[in-house]
Structure 1
Amino acid sequence: MSTTDAFTGPLFIVGSPRSGTKLLRELLNRNPGINLCNPESHFIPYLYRSFGTDPAFFSVDLDRFFAAFDRMPFQTFSRRMGKRVMQRADFEQLRDALTWAEAFEPILRFYGDPDAPRTAIWGDKTPSYVLDLPLLSEIFPTARFIHIIRDPRDVAVSAQNAWRHNLLRSATKWARNVSVGRRDAAALEGRYMEIFYEDLLRAPEAELRRACDFLDVAYAPEMTSLIRPSENIGKAAGKRFIDAANLGRYRERLSPRAQRRIEEIVFDAARDTPYELEYATRHVPLSPLRLGVVAAMDGSRSAVRYIRKKGLLDGISINLGNRLQKRRKLP
Structure 2
Amino acid sequence: MQDRLIFLIGAPRSGTTLLARMLGAHSQIYQRAEPHLITPIAHLGYYANVQKAPYDALNAEQAIKEIVADLPGGEADYLDALRAYTDTLYARLLALGPGKRFFLDKTPAYALVLPFLTKLYPRAHYVVLTRHPLAVLTSYVESFFDGDYQVAVNHNPILARYVPALARLLRERPVPLVHVRYEDLVRDPETNFRRICDHLGIPFEPQAIAYGEQGDAPKGLGDPTGVARHTRPVTESVDKWAAEIAADGERLQLVSRLIDTLDPADLETLGYPRAEIVAQLEAARGAPVPVKRAAPTRYALERKLLVALRRNIHRNRLGRLLKRVRFALDVVLRE
What is the match of residue 199 of structure 1?
Answer: 184
For residues 297-316 of structure 1, what are the structure 2 equivalents within 5 Å? 301=307
**Aligned partner of residue 178 in structure 2, secondary structure:** strand
Matched, 1:105 2:109: no
Between the aligned partners of 1:30 and 1:15, the Cα distance in structure 2 is 19
Return the TM-score normalized by structure 1.
0.61
Deviation of the 1:108 alpha carbon: 2.6
What is the match of residue 205 of structure 2?
Answer: 220
Between the aligned partners of 1:112 and 1:139, the Cα distance in structure 2 is 19
- Which AA in structure 1 matches 2:232? F
What is the match of residue 55 of structure 2?
Answer: none
Matched, 1:247 2:238: yes
Q: 1:9 to 1:202 in 2, by over 3 A?
A: same
For residue 29 of structure 1, the aligned residue among 17, 24, 28 is: 24
For residue 17 of structure 1, the aligned residue among 12, 20, 26 is: 12
- Which AA in structure 1 matches 2:138? V
8 Å Cα contact 2:129/2:179 also seen in 1: yes
For residues 231-310 of structure 1, what are the structure 2 equivalents within 5 Å? 233-254=224-245, 255=247, 257=249, 258-259=251-252, 261-267=254-260, 268=264, 269-272=266-269, 273-274=271-272, 276-278=276-278, 301=307
Give the number of aligned pairs. 239
For residues 107-122 of structure 1, what are the structure 2 equivalents within 5 Å? 107-112=89-94, 114-117=96-99, 120-122=101-103
- Which AA in structure 2 matches 1:241? R
Higher helix residue share: 2
Between the aligned partners of 1:301 and 1:222, the Cα distance in structure 2 is 40
For residues 1-12 of structure 1, what are the structure 2 equivalents within 5 Å? 8-12=3-7
Deviation of the 1:245 alpha carbon: 2.0
8 Å Cα contact 2:24/2:104 also seen in 1: no
Between the aligned partners of 1:10 and 1:138, the Cα distance in structure 2 is 14
Map Cα deviations across residues 23-80 of structure 1 (whole Å, 9 max, x no partner): 11110111122223x2212232313543979xxxxxxxxxxxxxxxxxxxxxxxxxxx
What is the match of residue 123 of structure 2?
Answer: 142
Runs of 4+ in 1 over 6 A off after TM superposition: none
Identity over aligned pairs, percent: 20
8 Å Cα contact 2:11/2:109 also seen in 1: yes
Between the aligned partners of 1:174 and 1:223, the Cα distance in structure 2 is 31
What is the match of residue 161 of structure 2?
Answer: 176
Q: 1:211 to 1:252 in 2, by over 3 A?
A: same
What RMSD, in angstroms, separates the aligned Cα atoms of the two structures?
A: 3.6
Q: 1:302 to 1:270 in 2, by over 3 A?
A: farther
8 Å Cα contact 2:128/2:179 also seen in 1: yes
Between the aligned partners of 2:309 and 2:20, the Cα distance in structure 1 is 26
Gaps of 5+ in 1: 1-5, 54-96, 282-297, 305-315, 317-331
What is the match of residue 321 of structure 1?
Answer: none
Between the aligned partners of 1:256 and 1:271, the Cα distance in structure 2 is 26
Deviation of the 1:127 alpha carbon: 0.6
Query: Which of the pair has more CA radius of gyration?
Result: 2
Between the aligned partners of 1:206 and 1:301, the Cα distance in structure 2 is 40
What is the match of residue 57 of structure 1?
Answer: none
8 Å Cα contact 2:8/2:127 also seen in 1: yes
Matched, 1:153 2:153: no
Between the aligned partners of 2:308 and 2:43, the Cα distance in structure 1 is 25
For residue 37 of structure 2, the aligned residue among 19, 38, 43 is: 43
Return the TM-score normalized by structure 2.
0.60
**Aligned partner of residue 35 in structure 1, secondary structure:** strand
- Which AA in structure 2 matches 1:20? G
